Amino acid sequence: MLDPKLKVAVYMEDHIDSDYGKMGMGVVRYLKNPIVGVVDKTFAGKSMHDFMNLEREVPILKNLEAAIEQGAEVLILGIAPSGGRIPESWNSIIVEALEAGLSIVNGLHDLLAPRWGTQIKNPETQWIWDVRVPQFIPAIATGKAASLTNKRVLFIGTDMAVGKMTSGLELYDDLLKREVNVGFIATGQIGITLMGKGIPLDAYKLDHACGAVEQIVMEAAENEIVIVEGQGSLLHPGSSATLPLMRGSCATHLVLCIRADKKTLRSPEHIAVPDLNEFIALNEALATVVGTYPQAKVIGICANTSMLPEAQAQQFISDLSEKTGIEVTDPVRFGVTGISELLLKD
């Protein structure tokens, strides 16, 4: 786990305002560590307040040297390029960080430690954390999570990068404030970085994926409510993550995440998002498999409305709630009170 006292810099060069910057955005919004700044020369001098709804002040700095001058001790690579590959253009920032004595958090499929580990200057205090390295080889899943008596809330989506992690963390934080015995199951690089534990689901062999989810869900059996971070989408042709999450967790509740401005996938754009009521029914049917597993129902819809004016966002939420008969909110803009209360009442 990342020591919460360590001062962090987040590398987001050219991607503060792109979908590939979600690692950095998640870290800036939720990481408890002090963040000295985000490195991006394009927007240097601005603040992350200019790009996201944020409580704390996080400046944007022109280079890593400026972050080191502010006391940075850890560099987090906050960009997630397509395919999880580390571009050659990042080599100079990695070398600069290591030579300055910084530790590095890397959430990509390409690993830093095998190539750069020998360049660590201070082994007692300096390290490289490749987040996407599985920490155990699980047994084949057996569906035993269905025997648990707690509530297991799985976040599903119409696409990649629609806010499944953000929505899950907002619900987790809201339940913590209500003093609920709640746990958060991280299944991706951002969640693991924030929580200090979890499973990098897309780094597991497909046959092991369900078992990995099952193992970590069983380890959270003492929690009354378990929030399971979602990955991918049943709709996306490049995603195989939803089914192992459903089978491994034996979810009892589902929360659907969408982007209010999208009627197609982000990529490939020729695939249209289907009628949401039908998509909800599909996910519910797959989760339960004709009653074989718990009767998981979608209890809420989390819509990312950040691209809409507030009045238009509220109208979108109202219209969608009327259409589906389900609680709808933008968790960042309007909170998750309604979903929390439904979950606690159920």
Structural domains in the chain, sorted by start = 8-130 (3.40.50.720), 144-345 (3.40.50.300)
Instruction: Give the pTM.
Output: 0.94
Burial of 239 (0-12, 13-18, 19+ CB in 10 A): middle
The order of strands in the sheet holding 103-106 is 60-61, 35-39, 8-11, 74-77, 103-106, 128-130
Residue 346: the pLDDT is: 79
Q: How many CB atoms sit inside 10 A of residue 330's CB?
A: 24
Mean pLDDT by 10 residues, the chain (346 residues): 94 90 94 97 96 93 98 96 83 96 96 95 94 95 98 97 96 98 97 96 95 98 98 96 98 98 95 98 98 97 96 98 98 98 94
Residue 80: the pLDDT is: 84
Gap between the Cα atoms of 212 and 198, Å rounded = 9
Residue 333: the pLDDT is: 96
DSSP string for residues in 150-209 = SEEEEEEESSSSSSHHHHHHHHHHHHHHTT--EEEE--SHHHHHHHS----GGGS-HHHH
Q: Which of 244, 203, 178 is nearest to 107 (CA)?
A: 203
Residue 18: the pLDDT is: 83
Name the residue type at position 90: W
Q: How many CB atoms sit inside 10 A of residue 188's CB?
A: 27
Do 121 and 101 meet the contact criterion of CB atoms below 8 Å apart?
A: yes
